[in-house]
Amino acid sequence: MHSTLEIPDPLGASAEPLRALLTRLPGVEALLVLAHGAGAGMNHAFMERIAVTLGNLGVATLRYEFPYTTAGRRSPDPPKRLVEAVRRAVEFAKDEYPDLSLFAGGKSLGGRMTSTAVSQGLTGVKGLVFFGFPLHAPGRDGSERARHLADVPVPMLFLQGTRDKLAEIGRMRVLVDELRGADRAGRADITLVELDDADHSFHVPRRTGLTDADVLASLATTAAAWIRDRV
């Protein structure tokens, strides 16, 4: 089910290959290029489980690792280098899997860097999926991290916990309304799905009666259905 890959530097320069994992079952029609969050790599339990669950729901995934994680550093690379990694992964997927409808996104930082790349002209993806968009730092106001989303020309799915300290849910609702209203061309296809009581890692309190596995299954089911509707 999993295949280990290396994504080379397309220009043949000195950059190290990106480590990647392809999860693909027979008969799928869509591929989600999936970037990890700031604090964990592509092998994190969340990334592994979401890839497997999406695979069982008919969506292949290409997970890849940012250079700083491969090098064992805790601090993320500068945004320019992160965006370049996104570009390399998406361009690789376009070349290697032309039979699949291509989508992209990621967990937290990975999703934000993916949308930044698309806002700067990266093409070939039919939509973006955010597993917890990091709208602001914990305890801070503002939505500066989302300014570039107005320049994203493809459909977007935001999967957000209502207790996410990096994206106060009221601000997320305002952001989505603003993005829809700013699209004078009428192409807006922007979906916000709220997961009650989930935090930024999609953990939920025991009082909900739900487990993290229940929440992850809901995330994957929603994302897979959204993607299949746009293949």
Q: Supply 17's token pair.
A: 């290959």
Count of H-run helices and E-run strands, the chain = 6, 8
- Cα gap 40→25, rounded to integer Å: 25
Q: What b/e sequence results for 89-127 when a residue is b if at least 16 CB atoms lie within 10 Å of its CB, and e otherwise?
A: bbbbbbeebeebbbbbbbbbbbbbbbbbbbbeebeebeb
How many structural domains are present in the chain?
1
User: What separation in angstroms does the CA of 65 have from each of 7, 40, 90, 187, 205?
Assistant: 10, 9, 13, 32, 30
pLDDT of residue 155: 96
Predicted confidence (pLDDT) at residue 133 exceeds the cutoff of 90: yes
pLDDT of res. 10 = 74
Q: What pLDDT was estimated at residue 13?
A: 58
pLDDT (0 to 100) of residue 14? 55
pLDDT for 186 beyond 90: no
**What would the mean pLDDT of 99-108 be, rounded to a whole number?**
98
Which of 33, 94, 99, 91 shows the shortest CA–CA distance to 60? 33
CATH number at residue 129: 3.40.50.1820
Determine how many CB atoms are found less than 10 A away from the CB of residue 229: 10
Give 11's pLDDT tier (boundaries 50, 70, 90): low
Residue 139 has pLDDT above 90, yes or no: no
Q: Residue 178: give the domain boundaries.
A: 2-228
φ, ψ of residue 46 in degrees (nearest 5): -60, -45
**Structure confidence at residue 140 (pLDDT):** 76
Total residue length of the chain = 231
Upper half-sphere CA count for residue 26 (Cβ side, 13 Å): 0
47-95 pLDDT per residue, tens: 999 999 999 999 999 999 999 999 999 999 999 999 999 999 999 999 9
Q: What is the mean pLDDT of the chain?
A: 93
Close Cβ partners of 99 (under 8 Å, ≥ 6 residues apart): none
Query: Average of pLDDT values for 123-145?
Result: 90
Predicted confidence (pLDDT) at residue 123 exceeds the cutoff of 90:
yes
Full-model pTM: 0.94
pLDDT score, position 16:
84
Which H or E run contains 61? strand 59-64
Q: What is the pLDDT of residue 144?
A: 83
Neighbouring C-alpha atoms within 13 Å toward the C-beta of 47: 29
Q: How confident is the model at residue 184 (pLDDT cuts 50, 70, 90)?
A: low
Sheet hosting strand 18-23, strand order edge to edge: 2-7, 18-23, 59-64, 30-35, 101-107, 128-131, 156-161, 190-195
Tell me the percentage of the chain whose pLDDT exceeds 70: 95
Other CB atoms within a 10 A radius of the CB of residue 26 amount to 4
Q: What angle do CA 22, 128, 96 make, to 5 degrees?
A: 35
H helix runs in the chain, sequence order: 45-56, 67-70, 79-96, 109-119, 169-182, 212-228
